């Protein structure tokens, strides 16, 4: 692949452990995996607002209690925020209205997640949803294979609503390694008919405990074939967990990325990644 560029675009004070991004005009929406808020950062006036996603939200919820919001996707004027499903506290999916800036529905996905685990032959301790896409007809949920079994799996759920009857497909992927450690899905977005995904190599055999970060990749999957077009290592030090489209031109595509620093420090760097388009 031709040369990419990765640069720090700006820093946001007041957000920690960023795990998902969505850009809407000048507003950058950010979730953190230990926070009960959805953050809205205006990139023009540099103002940060926070919207509660749960009752009595705080910015640094203890690890054993946190909802672990790891994935954010949207369709029309609704944002969908998913818990990872890696413990019993982490099964929520929140629907947030972008016009009224309020939560419109809270969903418990415990039954769906259990069905996905059974269908995908993933043990509960290896289940960890860290990416989500909704195109209005299909949901694509990305299991991060950072457990013992390394199950990097994309679940495709054909349904307009996750509470209705659906068809389910799962596809497993072998993602690239760094220093012998296989990388695992950390986020994904849909751009036209291509899925762009992030994966990180983290030296741990647990979906709960953090390990040494060895680097991250960007990759692309063709939506029609569900096969990987390419992967590209973009860092040897960062644990990138959030991805959103910034700009797309004829010969290049730009993304905004955020990283999970696995600390209680309330600051988040936003990176810009530029790739050539083939």
What local confidence, expressed as pLDDT, does residue 208 receive? 62
Summarize the confidence of residues 209-224 as an average pLDDT: 91
pLDDT one-digit tens code per residue, 60-108: 899 899 999 999 999 999 999 999 999 989 999 999 999 999 999 999 9
State the Cα–Cα distance between residues 103 and 106, nearest whole angstrom.
8
What local confidence, expressed as pLDDT, does residue 254 receive? 98
State the Cα–Cα distance between residues 32 and 69, nearest whole angstrom.
6
CB neighbour burial string for 107-142, b if at least 16 within 10 angstroms, e if fewer? bebeebbeebbeebebeebbbbbbbbbbeeebbbbb
What local confidence, expressed as pLDDT, does residue 122 receive? 96
What local confidence, expressed as pLDDT, does residue 250 receive? 87
Predicted confidence band of residue 261 (pLDDT cuts 50, 70, 90): confident
Q: Look at residue 206 and tell me whether its pLDDT is greater than 70.
A: no
What local confidence, expressed as pLDDT, does residue 149 receive? 84
Share of the chain above pLDDT 70, in %: 96
Predicted confidence band of residue 207 (pLDDT cuts 50, 70, 90): low
Residue ranges with strand state E in 68-128: 69-75, 78-83, 92-97, 102-108
Mean pLDDT lowest among 2-6, 42-46, 187-191, 267-271:
2-6
Longest dimension (CA), the chain: 48
What local confidence, expressed as pLDDT, does residue 17 receive? 86
Predicted confidence band of residue 164 (pLDDT cuts 50, 70, 90): confident
pLDDT one-digit tens code per residue, 119-129: 999 999 999 99
**Average pLDDT score over the chain:** 93
State the Cα–Cα distance between residues 37 and 58, nearest whole angstrom.
7
State the Cα–Cα distance between residues 42 and 28, nearest whole angstrom.
6
CATH architecture of the domain with residue range 5-276: 6 Propeller (2.120)
pLDDT one-digit tens code per residue, 233-247: 999 999 999 999 999
Q: Look at residue 2 and tell me whether its pLDDT is greater than 70.
A: no
Q: Specify the pTM.
A: 0.95
Predicted confidence band of residue 264 (pLDDT cuts 50, 70, 90): confident
Q: Look at residue 278 and tell me whether its pLDDT is greater than 80.
A: no
Query: Would you list the domain boundaries of the chain?
Result: 5-276
């Amino acid at each position: 692949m031709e040369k990419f560029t990765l640069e720090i675009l700006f820093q946001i004070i007041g957000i920690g452990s960023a795990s998902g991004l969505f850009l809407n005009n000048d507003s950058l929406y950010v979730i953190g995996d230990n926070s009960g808020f959805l953050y809205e950062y205006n990139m023009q006036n540099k103002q940060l607002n926070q919207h509660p996603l749960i009752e009595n939200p705080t910015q640094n919820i203890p690890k054993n209690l946190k909802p672990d919001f790891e994935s954010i996707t949207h369709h029309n004027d609704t944002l969908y925020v998913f818990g990872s499903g890696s413990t019993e506290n982490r099964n929520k999916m929140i629907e947030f209205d972008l016009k009224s800036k309020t939560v419109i529905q809270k969903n418990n996905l415990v039954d769906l997640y259990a069905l996905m685990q059974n269908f995908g032959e993933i043990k509960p301790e290896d289940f960890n949803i860290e990416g989500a896409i909704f195109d209005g007809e299909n949901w694509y949920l990305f299991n991060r294979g950072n457990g013992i079994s390394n199950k990097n799996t994309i679940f495709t759920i054909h349904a307009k609503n996750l509470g209705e009857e659906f068809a389910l497909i799962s596809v497993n992927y072998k993602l690239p390694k760094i220093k012998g450690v296989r990388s695992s899905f950390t986020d994904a977005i849909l751009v036209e008919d291509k899925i762009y995904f992030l994966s990180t190599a983290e030296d741990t055999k647990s979906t709960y405990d953090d390990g040494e970060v060895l680097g991250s990749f960007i990759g692309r999957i063709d939506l029609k074939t569900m096969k990987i077009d390419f992967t590209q290592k973009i860092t040897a030090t960062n644990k990138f967990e959030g991805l959103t489209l910034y700009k797309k031109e004829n010969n290049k595509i730009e993304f905004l990325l955020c990283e999970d620093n696995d600390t209680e420090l309330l600051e988040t760097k936003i990176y810009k990644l530029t790739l050539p388009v083939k």
